[in-house]
Amino acid sequence: MTTHYFIALPIEADEFARIQREVLPYYSYRRVYRPDEFHLTLQFLGALDDDQVEAVREITKQVANETRPFTLTFEQIDFFGRPDRPRVLTIIPEASPALTAFVSTLRGRLHDEVPGLDRKTFVPHVTLAKKWDSGHVVPHMAPTFHVTETIDAAVLYRINPSHTPAYEAVDVFPLTRSEEDTWRSRLKFLT
């Protein structure tokens, strides 16, 4: 079995788990994501050899070093597939110029360097559940929420389908902070 990889933004908001618990009774899925698996995929990489993994690491590190931390705001549940039996249940962020610029630069450089990468259009989302099981969606009112997530790193994940959790962080790429932000962060721990 070949090892597959992807680059993503880890999503750590406890609020996502609450939203997931609130909406899942109205749906029927075989695969429900655990809170420690929540992420926003930037680029699916598929199977890579060691040289390609190293190239991905270098490119991701460079782009992360050129990108300042930013925030994403989530207020909407969405899905992929049919409305009565959506194959993937998601939470989507509001439009973000910072996310768009980061992803555009990262994917552009990856596609130039690593041949054969998935070139599907980037659709930002955090998956809550996937693989529809049976029946139809039970009519319900979607919960209202407003979740702000600070994005300060990207992660290279390896997929281990037979493990729990299925996604293993291989490398973390902190986004560059300004000198002022770095000092502010340090002062927070010194005071």
d(CA 89, CA 86) in angstroms, rounded, equals 7
Q: CB–CB of 28/135 below 8 Å?
A: yes
- Could you say which of 39, 111, 140, 146 is catalytic? 39
Question: Tokens 């809170």 sit at which residue?
Answer: 35
39 is known as an active-site residue: yes
Which among 44, 11, 176 is positioned nearest to 110, based on CA atoms? 44
CA within 13 Å, CB half, 136: 6
Q: For residue 43, what are its two tokens?
A: 């680029």
Q: DSSP string covering 62-123, please?
A: HHHHT---EEEEEEEEEEEEETTEEEEEEEEEPP-HHHHHHHHHHHHHHHHHSTT---PPP-
From the list 4, 111, 125, 163, the catalytic residue is: 125
The residues that are catalytic are 39, 125
